[in-house]
């Protein structure tokens, strides 16, 4: 199909090398089927008697799991369905159009990404294509009104949801509940549209490599195919799709400002034979925002998001791995 990125051709040499070895990526680490990710009903926040208990569940899930699912989250089915249908249309544009999406859509460089040009073996390759939209780019998409309005509606609801959640999480670690509103611009967040193309070698390659997110908080909608897994007590746990739920996870920046109370957990997506879509909202500060915990003794050095991004980029280029927060430990 003319919309598929040329994975097999581009990574032919890596593929041939790995087909000689009889490895299965997913049998190397144990899996656990018997643990349930917390599922939190946010409607309880509007009920005076249940609000405190619900806030407690949110902060406990953020510190014990770093991940949880929410229902009655305020993002309507209509907004989600609209976003997904625009997302499908976009990914089903011819590959050559996607490659020049920045010019076609009037967007920043590297909006469209696929594969990994630096991969030296298959385990460094994500079988994934993605559009990465900084919120500030969305108004520029004058030629693509329907995609633009879906992104805008989705971003507005997601921003409200993340702001409510970070406020609750801030209170529970004795931070000022306005900390986020006062210190970080709302428009520095971004939306990422992910598509996992059908993969004919699904035991040898990841859909997305194990990673933690460089955000305060990430909110994800996944379709019904499944494949997202998170690390819990040394085992991979499936995040089973739930059509009414959004998946929330703590990112590295929140782990740092909460002085390790909240955990930014490694997660990955298993490659599959079926096409899969997910849509993520990354709640992030502007690049020069200072990340520093008020808690004493602080575990991490004071750093800016720019410094963090530079360090992780350098580590990824040199070692294939982001390393992440441990670089900033005091
Ligand atoms: O597609 C998913 O389920 C996860 C995506 C993800 O982890 C990311 O985009 O950072
Ligand atoms: Fe992620």
Q: What is the CATH number of the domain that holds 224?
A: 2.60.120.330
Q: Whose CA is nearest to atom 1 of ligand 1?
A: 278
Catalytic one among 276, 302, 306, 309? 276
- Residue 140 falls within a domain, yes or no? yes
Which residues have C-beta within 8 Å of that of residue 320, sequence separation ≥ 6?
118, 119, 120, 124
330 domain-assigned: no
Tally of structural domains, the chain:
1
CB-defined site of ligand 1, < 6 Å: 192, 194, 208, 213, 220, 222, 228, 267, 269, 278, 280
Residue 120 domain flag? yes
For the chain, list residues with pLDDT below 50. none
| Nearest ligand for residue 228 CA | 1
Domain span holding position 283: 25-295
- Indicate which atom in ligand 1 lies nearest the CA of residue 213: 10
Is the residue at 2 inside a domain?
A: no
- Assigned domain for 323 exists: no
> Cα dihedral sign for 225, 229, 109, 75?
positive
Residue 322 counted as domain residue? no
329, part of any domain: no
Q: How far apart are CA 123 and CA 59, in angstroms?
A: 34
Q: Are 256 and 295 in contact (CB under 8 A)?
A: no
147-162 tens-digit pLDDT: 999 999 999 999 999 9
- The yes-or-no answer on residue 276 being catalytic is yes
Residue 315 within a domain: no
What's the 87 CA to ligand 1 centre distance in angstroms?
Answer: 15
Q: Which atom of ligand 1 is nearest to the CA of 227?
A: 3
Tens-digit pLDDT profile for residues 208-248: 999 999 999 999 999 999 999 999 999 999 999 999 999 99
> What is the structure's pLDDT at 278?
98
């Amino acid at each position: 199909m003319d919309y598929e990125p040329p994975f097999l051709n581009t990574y032919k040499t890596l593929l041939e090398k790995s087909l000689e070895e009889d490895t299965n990526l997913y049998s190397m680490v144990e899996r656990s089927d018997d643990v349930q990710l917390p599922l939190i009903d946010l409607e309880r926040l509007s009920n005076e008697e249940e609000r405190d208990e619900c806030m407690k569940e949110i902060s406990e899930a953020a510190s014990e799991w770093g991940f949880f699912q929410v229902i009655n989250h305020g993002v309507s089915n209509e907004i989600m369905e609209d976003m997904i249908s625009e997302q499908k249309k976009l990914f089903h544009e011819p590959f050559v159009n996607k490659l020049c999406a920045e010019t076609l859509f009037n967007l920043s460089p590297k909006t469209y990404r696929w594969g990994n040009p630096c991969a030296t073996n298959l385990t460094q390759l994500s079988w994934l294509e993605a559009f990465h939209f900084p919120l500030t780019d969305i108004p520029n998409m004058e030629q693509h009104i329907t995609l633009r309005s879906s992104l805008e509606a989705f971003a507005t609801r997601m921003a409200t949801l993340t702001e409510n959640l970070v406020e609750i999480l801030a209170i529970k670690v004795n931070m000022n509940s306005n900390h986020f509103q006062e210190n970080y611009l709302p428009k520095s967040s971004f939306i990422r549209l992910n598509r996992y193309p059908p993969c004919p070698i699904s035991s040898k390659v990841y859909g997305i490599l194990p990673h933690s997110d460089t955000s305060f908080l990430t909110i994800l909608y996944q379709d019904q195919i499944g494949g997202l897994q998170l690390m819990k007590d040394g085992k991979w746990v499936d995040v089973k799709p739930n059509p009414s739920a959004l998946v929330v996870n703590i990112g590295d920046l929140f782990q740092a400002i909460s002085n390790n109370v909240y955990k930014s957990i490694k997660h990955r997506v298993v490659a599959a034979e079926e096409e899969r879509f997910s849509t993520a909202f990354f709640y992030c500060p502007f690049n020069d925002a200072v990340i520093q915990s008020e808690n004493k003794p602080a575990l991490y050095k004071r750093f800016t998001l720019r410094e963090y991004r530079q360090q992780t980029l350098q580590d990824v280029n040199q070692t294939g791995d982001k390393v992440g927060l441990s670089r900033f430990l005091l």
